[in-house]
Amino acid sequence: MTTLHLNLIGHGPIDVTVDHLVIAGWTGRDAEAVEHHIAELEAIGVARPARVPCFYRVSASLLTTDASVEIPGADSSGEAEFVLYSTPMGLLVGIGSDHTDRKVEAYGVTVSKQMCAKPVSRDVWRFEALADHWDSLQMKTWRTRDGQTALYQEGGVTRMLDPRDLIRRYTGSDTLPVGTAMFCGTQPIIGELGFGEAFDMALIDPVSGTELRHRYAVDTLPVEG
């Protein structure tokens, strides 16, 4: 269990307790594109998921709103995802990074996801305020590498399953249990997948003209032996 000190837009500071953290994978709406990507990863040694979409349980203590994270070595990278929080106040939405150790990923996906902190934005929205125009939302990620910042991911949330559909596939019902947070899938990488000194993520609502933003730096720890 962990407690996040967040800012609910239009309301103010709130504390969100997360008992269970779920990383949803292979959440694309285009089933053929998902299968193509699975085959690509199989070719480099990453095991095929047991089901699609799949749901990896990891420790809730990995969640952080800090501006930096400490990661062993330089084999990890971030990927922006919209994040759902089921709370007594209802379903909330933030932006986060499923930061993952890519070297360990070839050994085991769940293990690789447990290796790294999961940075999330302090600002969140109510999902009900977005529900009627959800498919208009956009996502962007910028990566800083060797001191140069460039666009790393970009696309609409329509690439991923609608949150309501994803919740049904996970729980078999229309609700996510209170105390659960879920990362919901990511955009394709622009250029080369890999390490960055920092990642900057945005979830953009063109209807309201607002966005959720989070930037974090990666502090690499030495790997001995």
Q: Does the structure show a pLDDT above 90 at 50?
A: no
Q: What is the mean pLDDT of residues 75-86?
A: 96
Asked whether the beta carbons of 113 and 23 are under 8 A apart, the reply is: yes
pTM value is 0.95
* Residue spans per domain, the chain: 2-221
Q: Where are the alpha helices (DSSP H) in 76-214?
A: 102-105, 109-114, 163-171
Which pLDDT band holds residue 224 (cuts at 50, 70, 90)? confident
Question: 191-220 b/e with 16+ CB inside 10 Å = b?
Answer: eeeebbbbbbbbbbbeeeeebbebbbbbee
Looking only at the bridges linking them, the beta strands covering 63-64 and 118-119 are parallel
194-215 tens-digit pLDDT: 899 999 999 999 999 999 999 9
130-187 tens-digit pLDDT: 999 999 999 999 999 999 999 999 999 999 999 999 999 999 999 999 999 999 999 9
CATH fold of 2-221: Fumarylacetoacetate hydrolase; domain 2 (3.90.850)
% of the chain with per-residue pLDDT over 90 = 80
Query: What value does the mean pLDDT of the chain take?
Result: 95
